[in-house]
Structure formats: C-alpha cells, structure tokens
Amino acid sequence: MKSPLLSLPGAVAAEGSDEGVAAHYGDLFREQRALADGTGLVDLSHRGVVTVTGDDRLAWLHLLLTQHVSELAPGEATEALVLSANGHIEHALYLVDDGATTWAHVEPGTREALVAYLESMKFFYRVEVADRTDDIALVHLPAGSIAEVPEGTAVRETPYGRDLFLPREGLEAYAAAHGPLAGILAYEALRVENHRPRLGFETDHRTIPHELGWIGSAVHLQKGCYRGQETVARVQNLGKPPRRLVFLHLDGSEVLLPGHGTPIRLAADGAEGRQLGFITTSARHHELGPIALALVKRNVPVDAELMAGDTAAAQEAVVEV
C-alpha cells in the first residue's frame, strides 16, 4: 500500500516493514522535535486496519484477546495480543470502540492472517470482521496536538498521541491542512525513547508478553480464559521470563547504527564472547543521540557494560529483572 504522500517534495521512502510511507521528509531531527513539541503528523497509512461490528463484538473479542475488552467504553483505547497455544505472541492489536464498531490497527503484512484467524473463530457469535485497509488510512497526531479531527472519525487517544482512522481518499487533503509531516524514523525514535515494543521488531517466534513489559498494557491478568493463558499465568505466578527488554544508550562516535539482530555481548568478553541477546530497534534521537531497544537474557546484570556488535552500549532496565 504506497502512500500518496511519498510524492511530496523531500519525501524519502522507508524500507523493510515500513515500506510504503516516508522514512523522512528531509530533516529527521526537525521532524522529531516537531512531534515532541506536539505538532506535525505521521503517515501510518501502510498499517492494516481491521474492524469488528455486531452486537457480540466485545464479548467475542474478550474470549480471543489477552486484554479485558468485554466492557470497553466508547472512545477508550487499549492494546491486546493474540497468543499461540504456547503463549508466544502472534498478533498485536491497537484498539478503540466507537459504540458500534471496534477499530484496530495492526502491523503491515499481518492483517490477512489476523482476519483469517478471527473469521475461523466466529462460530455462532453475531459479529462481522472486515479488512478496511483499502479504504481507511491511519494517521498519527502527537500528544498535545491541536489539529482538528474530522467529524465521525474513529480516534484512538493514548498518552503518546492520537491515532486517526481517516478515509483513505482524504489523506492528502488532511495532511496538507495539518502538517508539518514527520516520517516513520522520527516516530520510531520516540517509540524507542518511550520503551514501547513493536511486533516483528521486539518479537521473534518465541517471544512471550512478560519479556517486553506488555503485562498490564496489553495483557489483563484477571480476565477469563484465552489461548496461551496457561503460559502467561505460569510465568506470572511461578517464574520469570527467559529474556527481558532493555533500553540502550549507544556510543555516539560510531557512524553506523547497529541494525536489527546485531548480537549483544558483555564488553569484558570481547567479540568472541557468548551472545546474550540482540538489537531489536535502533534510532538516532534528537536529544539522546543513538539509542536502541534490545532483548537480552534475564540474568545479564543490569549494570553490565555491553557491546552491540562493535558499538559500546549502556543499558537501562525496561522489564523487571
């Protein structure tokens, strides 16, 4: 899904998972500062949009998701996961209900599998699942933004800003009226600063919610049964996760950022040391300099000096040891 905003002057296309929208519009740090100051707009129209309608929608989703949504109030935003039978994360949904429809945006490339799963679980429930990506585009306004929200638009409001589900045909006009535009790299730098995990970046095929700090924000520990709940309950009550998310301050003298998958080792062990984790997302921040999120083994000391490939890194704990 290629955004029409990529044709604007200065737009540089993003690559990888975020292909289809702009990485930046010519000035990464200016775009970050604008978002941090509560101005600007981020084009997230490459993300999938899925809706659920019908009288049973919230009760039905409550049975499938890790979050307590059966009594979700209109306008209340939440996050939820779909887990495998073994408790591994398969999908992440960013939800809001408007009183008649539950709206969710999801990672690029995941909507088809999610819709297929939801369709397979409908049974006798009065629900309708729809992939709305072709006609609805997601736009992000930062916290503090005073940009107008068109009447009738579904809005997901969080401490980090507002996600707007706009008609795709109106994306260009809305962006022109409520700029300046900020690219996905600016958005990602602020996400890393706020320690917010992202499916497909901070997750792999064996990630469980405890490792990323998704307990509470996306997983409700007192709700009824859902697929994978046994693993969640066992780790919560009897043990600790095998890995934990950390925030890294990277050595600013290095020209290149360590990319996704770069091995993490103890600095004292050198390049031949045992791998203890890997970089999940790295970014250049307008104030903090080069930063990253990483998954490391739970028993890595919090005060240990680390190396991300050839780059020195100091860690801050995100998930309790």
311 DSSP β-pair partners: 308
DSSP conformation letters of 271-317: TTSPP-EEEEEEEEETTTEEEEEEEEETTS-TT--EEETTEEEEEEE
Nearest Cα to Cα of residue 13 among 22, 3, 26: 22
Residue linked to tokens 């958005």: 187
- The answer for 203, left when phi > 0, alpha when psi is -120 to 50, beta otherwise, is beta
The answer to whether 305 is annotated as binding is: no
Q: Report the half-sphere exposure of 139 (CA within 13 A, side-chain side).
A: 31
Dmax (CA) of the chain: 60
Query: Which residues are annotated as part of the binding site?
Result: 172
Where is the binding site for substrate, in residues? 172
